[in-house]
Amino acid sequence: MRDYIVKRVLRSFLVLFGLSLGVFALLSISGDPATIMLPPEAPMSEVISLRKALGFDEPVYIQYLKFLSRALRGEFGNSWQYGLPAINLVLEFFPATFQLALAALLFALVVGIPLGVVSAIREGSIIDALGLSLGVVGRAMPSFWLGIMLILVFAVNLKVLPTSGKGELRHLVLPAITLSTAFLAQIVLLVRSGMLDVLREDYIRTAQAKGLQPYTINMRHAFRNTLIPVVTMVGLTFGRLLGGSVITESVFSWPGVGRLAVQAVSARDFPLVQASVVVFALWIVLANLIVDLLYAFLDPRIRYG
Amino acid sequence: MAEKTHSSLWDTNVTRRQVLKTGAAGGLAVLAAACVPGATQTGQPVDAPAVVSKKTTLTMGIGGDVPGMNVLERAVAPATSVYYAMWDTGMEAQFNADGSRKGLKPMLITDYRVLDDQTTWEFKLREGITFNNGEPWDADAAAWNIEYRLTGETTRTSFRSLLISKYEGVEVVDKHTINVKTNIPFAFTPLIMMYLQVAPPAYYQDVGLEGYGENPVGLGPYKFVEWRKGQHIVLERNPDYWGEQATIDELIFKPFSEDATRVAALQAEEIDMAYNVPPDDAQRLTDAGLEISWIAIGQAMNLTMKTGSNPGHPLESPINDKLVRQAMNYALDKDSLVNDIMGGFAAPLDGQIVGPSCYGYNPDLEAYPYDPDKAIELLAEAGYPDGFTMDFDSAQGRYSKQKEVSEWMVGEYAKVGINLEMQLFEWSAFIDKVYSDQSAPVFYTGRNWYPTMDPENTLKMYECSERRAQVCDDELETMLFAQRAEFDPAKRETILHDIHTYLYDYCPVVYLFEAPDIFGHSTKVKNFVPTPDNRVHLIGMTVEES
């Protein structure tokens, strides 16, 4: 197990290295930040001197090596917009993103799992049709559109929830629902199909033959066996939820890293983009690692060498 | 020990059920802790400060996050909305009720004149006023602020950009007088002081660049209270302000990068006033009992053409021919554009790159009439009887209805045989192409004359030496240099009229319209008068208690 973890951690470093190279390359070809950072009336001499000050007069590979050596020490330089250390800004905004992702995850589980279970037990019923519809529609609905619709209905017309911003628990409701919808749909479909498969297994028939209560059969024998892939997906999706928060955070003015990163990309704020991406990537790599390790724990048949 | 814990977790001492339960409970606990009202990542209260009874508060929704409060380093929208409340400028523009230009209002600078050498500008500073921390506003403070901006390594303000290539130095004459020296006679120098917003030197040097950005001290009608990054900025009325006192006690600025959310927040009464309301939402807000205030600001929306007269531009291009450029001006129905696309929230340009709010506006010029037949005729005369095809760059996300206006132009030009092949970019990618002169021969953009309400900056793009010059024309350049060196306002105005007349014929752009500033606000907000200088003048505004 320990060897496996060491191997995975080393591989994660490779992933981060590749990612840093990718981000750097994309930023390098995305345009000259000096022209965007300066007011439009700035003379050419100003552009040249800013390029020099930012190190853009050096060859790209030198710029990358410098970036890499700093990044390894956890330094990304100061954000060009804020004038503050980029990594500090990202870490300051990260808890809000984490909170939103966690809320979305819990909402998806609390609603999605029971709906999936009931859909499977009552296959063909109205609830099943509802669950299936939610599964399809939820995945197809763009989160931008859904977010605006929820704001219009619950904040503007019904006035029961705030439109945006962060503060009390009620500020979290609409963005969490928006962010969770696609995942919720996945959970419903996954639990439903998993339950249907398991309900046809021999051991369920055996349990029924033993005269067990339907509730005991469904929950203890069927549902528990359905949970393993769900837990795996939860881990993987939690990483993705953080990334998916980019749109949700912008729509709901949620002060998280997603919105910060979007603004940084628009302003070509390289240090802030790099710090955001690396923190996101670290999180996803970590989430994947935990899931892989959990796998072995949850399913005793899986062993790592 | 660590290894033992590790193995106990992963082996059989702890059951799967225990881990799952612990994990679920932990998740809920983290979420609950994070959601407790008043708890934030920094452990400080998150809600906006409680409103004490009778205290009037104006909550404003602005276009995005304000990345820092260091006015010496960078001052761009939407941060400027906040900065104008906290920092007076050297001078500011005054307007008549119809939005036309009235002249200058002395603020931190009370008077100025050019000395006989025509390169030394003497500025008299307002006496007896102090920064919010008690430091005096005097010649030393003024000189330090100017010098910091012009020689600092990190500062990137418009003040610096406009002055740096002409700046020779600043000197203290007496306690309330400074001299600013330029390397050429430069009539625009005093107007650059309209960008001058100042920090107290001793405090700034004490707390440093980052410290000042987090806890700024200004000199203006409002004082800094709190900046919660990505959430809000709170200012309070400065009771010691030297000028007329503001009526509203507290200002809260909230960032909304999405227009739809900002408008919804206004409808939900979470904010009192929204900046940059899209024209399409204006009617809906009015129907909902809210008010819309708008004005045409100092920004000329135009289809810019890179003519071959600039050595850097292609020599073989239809738009090198003046007749083609004129045809392109005749081919568009500006009234239809303003009414049908902009919803009536714009004012057509009168065949010149500035509007009536700008100094030097030529009242004798009129917009090119809509005459597609004349356009076809001119195209044929220029040798393009079947029209032509040309690349066209535009963007979205910056100007009001940017994409729709661009698409409308493509459709309208097709009617006279001009096929514009449009590429639509994200704003910063577009502006990078424009600034590096890599854009298509024609592109849709805006050109500003606010906040100075003077055309110097607007006309600069027609000088050969400019880094993004679209035009290089000897006769035009002679006039441009002449207005710059003319210190008599009346004579300078005559030269500017001539320049606009020349440009009317030359057509370096397709003149479209003056862009709007559209605000939505609740009926509680009274005495709000939008002005063409793209700023909200808070003095005199009131908020009625509901």
Q: Which of A146, A166, A225 to mutate to test the interface with B (most CBs of B within 10 A)?
A: A166
Read off the pLDDT of each residue in B180-191 and give the average, rounded to a whole number: 93
**Which residues make Cβ contacts (< 8 Å) with residue A148, sequence separation at least 6?**
A251, B258, B260, B261, B264
Q: What percent of chain B has pLDDT over 90?
A: 70
Distances in Å between the Cα of A92 and the Cα atoms of A239, A256, A261, A276, B77 are 18, 9, 13, 11, 23
Contact of B302 with chain A, judged by CB distance below 8 Å, is answered with no
Of B268, B397, B435, the CB nearest to A35: B435
Interchain pair B162, A44: CB under 8 A: no
* φ and ψ of B523, to 5 deg: -70, -10
Q: Check residue B20 and give its pLDDT.
A: 42
- Does the pTM exceed 0.95? no
| Chain A, window 143-162: residues with a beta carbon less than 8 angstroms from a chain B beta carbon | 148, 151-152, 155-156, 159, 162
Question: Per-residue pLDDT for B8 more than 50?
Answer: no
Query: Could you identify the residue written with the tokens 């410290």?
Result: B211
> Cα–Cα distance between B311 and B124 in angstroms, integer?
44
3-state percent helix, strand, coil for chain A, nearest multiple of 5: 80, 0, 20
> Cα–Cα distance between B504 and B485 in angstroms, integer?
23
Residues A138 and A181 sit within 8 Å (Cβ to Cβ): yes
| Chain A, window 177-216: residues with a beta carbon less than 8 angstroms from a chain B beta carbon | none
Q: Check residue A141 and give its pLDDT.
A: 87
Q: Check residue A304 and give its pLDDT.
A: 62
Of A44, A165, A251, the CB nearest to B231: A165
Interchain pair A169, B35: CB under 8 A: yes
Please tell me the distance in Å from A42's CA to the nearest CA on chain B: 4
Q: Check residue B268 and give its pLDDT.
A: 95
Tens digit of pLDDT at every position of chain A (305 positions): 677 778 878 888 888 888 888 888 888 777 777 877 887 778 878 888 888 888 888 888 888 888 888 888 888 888 888 888 999 999 999 999 999 999 999 999 999 999 999 999 888 888 899 888 888 888 888 889 999 999 999 999 999 999 999 988 999 999 999 999 988 998 999 999 999 998 888 888 888 888 888 888 888 888 888 887 887 788 778 777 877 788 999 999 999 999 999 889 888 888 999 899 888 888 888 888 887 777 767 666 766 65
Q: At what angle do helices A60-72 and A270-298 cross, to 10 degrees?
A: 50
Interchain pair B47, A102: CB under 8 A: no
Residues in chain B with CB shorter than 8 Å from the CB of A251 are 258, 260-261
Residue B233: strand, helix, or coil: strand
Question: Per-residue pLDDT for B98 more than 60?
Answer: yes
Residues in chain B with CB shorter than 8 Å from the CB of A263 are 64-65, 67, 257
Which of the four pLDDT bands, split at 50, 70 and 90, describes residue B16? very low
Residues in chain B with CB shorter than 8 Å from the CB of A266 are 397, 426-428
More confident residue, B205 or A34: B205
Q: Check residue B513 and give its pLDDT.
A: 97
Residue of A nearest to B426 (CA): A266
**Which residues make Cβ contacts (< 8 Å) with residue B465, sequence separation at least 6?**
none
Residues B69 and B216 sit within 8 Å (Cβ to Cβ): yes
The pLDDT tens digits of the residues spanning B228-261 come to 999 999 999 999 999 999 999 999 999 998 999 9
Residues B104 and B93 sit within 8 Å (Cβ to Cβ): yes
Query: Could you identify the residue written with the tokens 């033959």?
Result: A209
Residue of B nearest to A78 (CA): B210
Which of A266-275, B36-45, B124-133 bottoms out in mean pLDDT, i.e. has the lowest?
Answer: B36-45
Which of A49-53, A273-277, B163-167, B494-498 bottoms out in mean pLDDT, i.e. has the lowest?
Answer: A49-53
Cα–Cα nearest to A165, from A107, A251, A92: A251
Q: Which of B467, B468, B470, B534 to mutate to test the interface with A (most CBs of A within 10 A)?
A: B467
Of A44, A260, A293, the CB nearest to B230: A260
Read off the pLDDT of each residue in B338-356 and give the average, rounded to a whole number: 95
Please tell me the distance in Å from B383's CA to the nearest CA on chain A: 36
Counting one residue from chain A and one from chain B, the pairs whose CB atoms sit within 8 A come to 186
Which of the four pLDDT bands, split at 50, 70 and 90, describes residue B292? very high
Residues in chain A with CB shorter than 8 Å from the CB of B70 are 83
Please tell me the distance in Å from A296's CA to the nearest CA on chain B: 9
Rg of the Cα trace of chain B? 27
Distances in Å between the Cα of B377 and the Cα atoms of B210, B256, B324, B331 are 61, 48, 10, 11
Mean pLDDT of all residues belonging to chain B: 88
